Amino acid sequence: MLFTRRIYQTNTNLDDALRVWFDFIQTMNPLESEVVPVHEGLGRVTAEAIHAKVSSPFYHASAMDGYAVRFHETFGASETTPVQLILHEQAVPLNTGDPVPEGFNAVIMVEDVNLTGDYVEILSPSTPYEHVRAVGEDIVQTELILPENHLIRPVDIGAMLSSGNYEVRVRRKPVVTIIPTGNEVVEPGTPLKTGNIIDSNSYMIGALANQWGAEYSRSDVVPDNKERLKQRILHSSNESDVVVVLAGASAGTKDFTPNAVDELGKIFVHGISIKPGKPVLLGMINERPVIGLPGYPVAAYMTFEMFGKPLIYRLLGIEPEQPEKVMAKLSRPVASTLGQKEFLRVKVGKVGDSLIATPVGRGAGALMTLQRADGIIQIPELSEGIAPESEVNVMLIRSKREINNTVVCIGSHDNTLDVLSNHLKKKFPAYSLSSAHVGSMGGLMAIKKAEAHIGGSHLLDEKTGEYNVPYVQRFLKDVPLKLINLVYREQGLMIPKGNPKNIKSLDDLRRGDIAFINRQPGSGTRLLTDKCLRDKEIDQRNIKGYEKEEFTHMGIASAVVSGAADTGMGILTAAIALDLEFIPVAQERYDLIIREEHMGTPMMQALIDLITSDDEFKESVISLGGYDVRDMGKVMYEQ
C-alpha cells in the first residue's frame, strides 16, 4: 500500500505558479452571452457595447412647473413694465416633464408669474430654451451608454432603460463544479462518527464562487477510488467551466487527484512553496481548467482566492477588485520558514492613532483564525521572520470602518467576552469587540504598549491576596486608567463525568496516576494554580503533565473531555459548557483595564453602557453559570 504514496514532485515558487496559471487563463476567452431583461441585470457583465436607442428626453420637456411661452413675446418685461400673456394661448401651464408645445421655446417658473384672470403677468423676459430640457440633454440617441465588460450597477439600469434599452446582452455566469472527495467526508447533517469530516469546504468555496459572480454545483462526495474520481472529473469538465476538486491533492495514500488529472489531461503545477496552501494542483482537461484545492479549510480558501478568483473574473471579462491595504505595526515577532512564502492572518486594531496588527494562529486547519482575522500579511520566501514593532503591509479582509469601530481586548480569556461581543453587536451594530487570548500578563503588557483598548485580567497578588491592583501599580504606574469589574468567577478542577479517577481535591495531583493539563505561564489561572500548589506544598515536578499547556479554559475542558488529560484548572463555565464535573478551588475577580484616554470614545461608552446597565447582558452572563455579577461595571480602582 505504501509504495503508492506520492512525495511532492514539485515545490513551485508562487510567482512561477501564478505566471503559468495566468498564461493559461489569458488563452481563455470570456464566456458566451445571453440576453436578460435590463431590470434583472444587476451585477451581471455586459457582453457588448450598449448604445442609446432613444434620446432622453426625446422631446423638448419643461424643466420646471410653470408656463410655456414664446421667448420673443416676453421681451421688455420688468417689475415696472410687466408683460401680460393670454393664458393657454401665449402661456400654457405645464408641469415638470411635460412636453413644450409646438412653437413654444421657453418656460417661465410658476413662482415668477402673477395670475390675473385669463392673463399671466410676467416681470422679466425669458431667454431661448430657458427651463427647457432639450431633446438629448441627458442622453443622445446612438451614444455609448455602457462599454463591453462592464459590471452593471443600479445607475446603469436606470441609464439603459432611459435610453430605450429594455434587454441587455450579458455574459453567461461561469459554472463551477465542486467535487468533494474522501471516504471520511460526510454531508453536513449526517450523524457524526469518529473519523468523519463534515464537508464544509464545498459550500465555503461555492459561496466564494457565488460572491465573484459564478454559479456552482456541488457533486456528491466521491469516495477514495481513482476510477470513480476520474469519471466524475471528466463528466464535470464537460458540463462546467471550472472544475474544483477538494482535497486529495496532497501526498497521502488516498490522494488520487493528481493521477486522475494527469491521466485525463495535463498538470501545470502540483505543490507550491506557500503556507498555507502547499498541496495545490493546477491543470486542465480538454482546455477546461481544473483546480485541486488542499483539504485544510484555510489553505483551500486562500488558494482558491489566488487561482480561482482571477479565472472566474477572466471568464466574466472583468477585473477583480483589489483588497484594501494598510500599514500597521506588528505587535509581536513572527518566525517563518525560509523558502516558503507565508500568508499570516492578523487581527488589526486601531488604538489611538496607530493600527496594530497581531498575528493569530497559523494552522491551515484553523478556520476560526481566518474567520476572525482582519487581514493577511505576507512573509517573503527569503525571510526568517519579522521583528516586533515592524511596519507591515496588511491586506484587509474587513473594512477600515469596521476596524476603526472595533474595541480591541487583549488578555485573559473569559467566556463572558463572547457574550459581551454578541450583545455589543446586537445593541450597537456599528461596533465590534475583538478579543485575543494571551493571558492576564499579556493583557497588561498590551495596555502598557498601547496595543489594546482593554486588558482582561485576573492576576492574584500572593502577598496581599488582592486582584489586579498591585500588578497595575507595579507595571502600569504612569498610565492613567480605570479597572472596571466584569465578573467574579469560580476556578476549580474540571474532571470527566462520573469522576473515573476519583479526584477530590488538588491533593490528588500528587498521586502519580493523574494526567494534569496546565495553562500557559503569564495566565491568571497559571498563577492561581501555582499559588495553590505552593500553599499545599505540592511539588510541580511530581505532577504528570504539568508541562503540557493550553491557552484557554475551553482548551483545558476539551482536553479533559477527550481524555487527553484527567483534569485541569479552569472556570466553572467551561466545565458546564462541556458537561464536565467541577471541584471548586477559588473565586477570583476578573477586571477590565481601560486606559483613561479611551474611556470617552463612543464605542467604549457603548461597551461600558452594556456592562453597567444592560439587564439582558447581565442575564446572559448569569445563565452561563459560575459567575457572580455583583460588581459588574463597578470601578474597582483608578489612577
Q: Looking only at residues 54 through 93 of this chain, which bind its own copies when binding is defined by CB under 8 A? A: 54-60, 63, 65, 93
- Binding to its own copies by residue 35, rule CB under 8 A? no
Span of 425-433, 491-499, 505-513, 521-529 interacting with its own copies by CB under 8 A: 425-433
Q: Which three cell numbers stand for residue 619?
A: 442575564
Instruction: Answer yes or no whether residue 370 interacts with its own copies by CB under 8 A.
Output: yes
Nearer to its own copies, 86 or 192 (CB): 192
By CB under 8 A, tell whether 303 contacts its own copies: no
Of 94, 95, 102, the residue nearest 68 (C-alpha): 94
CB 486 within 8 A of CB 611: yes
271 contacts 10 by C-beta, under 8 angstroms: yes
Contact pick of 217, 422, 473, 542 for its own copies (by CB under 8 A): 422
Q: Residue 480 interacts with its own copies (CB under 8 A)?
A: no
| Residue 363 touches its own copies, criterion: CB under 8 A | yes
- Binding residue for its own copies, selected from 10, 13, 84, 141, defined by CB under 8 A: 141
Binding string, residues 340-359; x marks residues near its own copies by CB under 8 A:
--------------------
DSSP class per residue in 383-441: --EE-TT-EEEEEESS-HHHHHTEEEEEES--HHHHHHHHHHHHH-TT-EEEEEE-HHH
CB 495 within 8 A of CB 501: yes
Instruction: Show the cell assigned to 393.
Output: 503591509
Residue 110 lies near its own copies (rule: CB under 8 A): yes
- Binding-site size for its own copies (CB under 8 A) equals 124
Tell me the closest approach of the beta carbon of residue 96 to its own copies, in angstroms: 6
* Least distance to its own copies, CB of residue 424, Å: 8
Q: Give the Cα separation of 106 and 361 in Å (integer).
A: 71
Alpha carbon distance 45, 52 (integer Å): 18
> With binding defined as CB under 8 A, does residue 366 bind its own copies?
yes
Taking CB under 8 A as the rule, which mask of x and - marks residues 377-416 in contact with its own copies? ----------------------x-x---x-----------
Q: Between residues 97 and 480, which has the closer beta carbon with respect to its own copies?
A: 97
Question: For residue 200, which of 228, 230, 183, 221 has the smallest C-alpha distance?
Answer: 221
**Does 108 interact with its own copies (rule: CB under 8 A)?**
no
134 part of the interface to its own copies, by CB under 8 A: yes
261 part of the interface to its own copies, by CB under 8 A: no
State the binding string over 154-173 for its own copies (x if CB under 8 A, else -): xxxxxxxxx-x-x-------
Among 121, 137, 581, 609, binds its own copies (CB under 8 A): 137
Alpha-carbon span 509 to 490, nearest angstrom: 19
Q: What is the DSSP string of 336-374?
A: --TTSEEEEEEEEEEETTEEEEEE----TT-HHHHHT-S
203 neighbors 230 (Cβ within 8 angstroms) = no
* Residue 210 and residue 216 in contact, taking contact as beta carbons nearer than 8 Å: yes
On whether the CB atoms of residues 313 and 25 are closer than 8 A, the answer is no
User: Given the DSSP bridges, would you call strands 627-628 and 481-495 parallel, antiparallel or unpaired?
Assistant: antiparallel
Binding mask 183-212 for its own copies (x = CB under 8 A): -x---xx--x-xx-xxxxx-xxxxxx-xx-
> Could you say whether residue 181 binds its own copies (CB under 8 A)?
no
Packing angle between helix 602-613 and helix 615-624, nearest 10 degrees?
60
Q: Which x/- pattern, by CB under 8 A, does the window 211-240 give for its own copies?
A: x-----------------------------
Residue closer to its own copies by CB (options 200, 383) is: 200
76, 147, 388, 500: residue in contact with its own copies (rule CB under 8 A): 147
